[in-house]
């Protein structure tokens, strides 16, 4: 086994709970979409998701063309429904990631990690003096009047 395989496998194992949470929340969201907007809306969102995955992760150019054609054919109402579904999924995935960070921090604290409070978080990065912050458009300006 190549030396890099073990760390990659360990990283994947650490992220299994996150992946499981995101999948669970995605299934629940799918159930809600079917219940509230109907099977047709659910199937449209699911088709767009599948084409997106095929194009982005599998580099399937034909899927990319079908994806583009499908998006261009949406009515205004369908577009709003799709945008809403993907927005909700994004929020749910962010919540799952927040919970995962808490879960990972707990693991490190139980293992005796010295400074878990010093692990970088979005808020800790933003509240550092501007001179110590990474230069990034995602960096907020909460603690300083100086731009990032």
pLDDT digits (tens, 9 = 90+) for 15-73: 999 999 999 999 999 999 999 999 999 999 999 999 999 999 999 999 999 999 999 99
pTM: 0.69
Residues 6+ apart with CB under 8 A from 46: 30
Radius of gyration in angstroms for the set of CA atoms belonging to the chain, rounded to a whole number: 20
Gap between the Cα atoms of 125 and 9, Å rounded: 29
Q: Which residue has the tokens 């890099």?
A: 4
User: Out of 18-27, 74-83, 111-120, 135-144, which region has the weakest mean confidence (pLDDT)?
Assistant: 135-144
| 139 neighbors 123 (Cβ within 8 angstroms) | no
pLDDT at 107: 84
Counting Cα atoms < 13 Å in the Cβ hemisphere of 118 gives 3
| 148 neighbors 141 (Cβ within 8 angstroms) | yes
């Amino acid at each position: 086994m190549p030396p890099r395989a073990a760390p990659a496998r360990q990283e994947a194992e650490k992220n299994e709970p996150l992946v499981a949470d995101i999948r669970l929340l995605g299934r629940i969201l799918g159930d809600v979409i079917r219940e509230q907007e109907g099977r047709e809306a659910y199937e449209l969102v699911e088709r767009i998701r599948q084409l997106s995955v095929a194009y982005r992760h599998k580099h399937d150019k034909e899927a990319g063309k079908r994806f583009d054609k499908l998006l261009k054919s949406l009515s205004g109402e369908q577009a709003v429904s799709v945008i809403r579904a993907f927005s909700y999924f994004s929020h749910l995935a962010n919540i799952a990631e927040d919970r995962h960070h808490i879960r990972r921090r707990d693991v490190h604290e139980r293992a005796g990690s010295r400074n878990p409070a010093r692990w970088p978080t979005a808020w800790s990065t933003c509240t550092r003096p501007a001179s110590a912050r990474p230069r990034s458009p995602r960096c907020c300006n909460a603690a300083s009047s100086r731009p990032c």
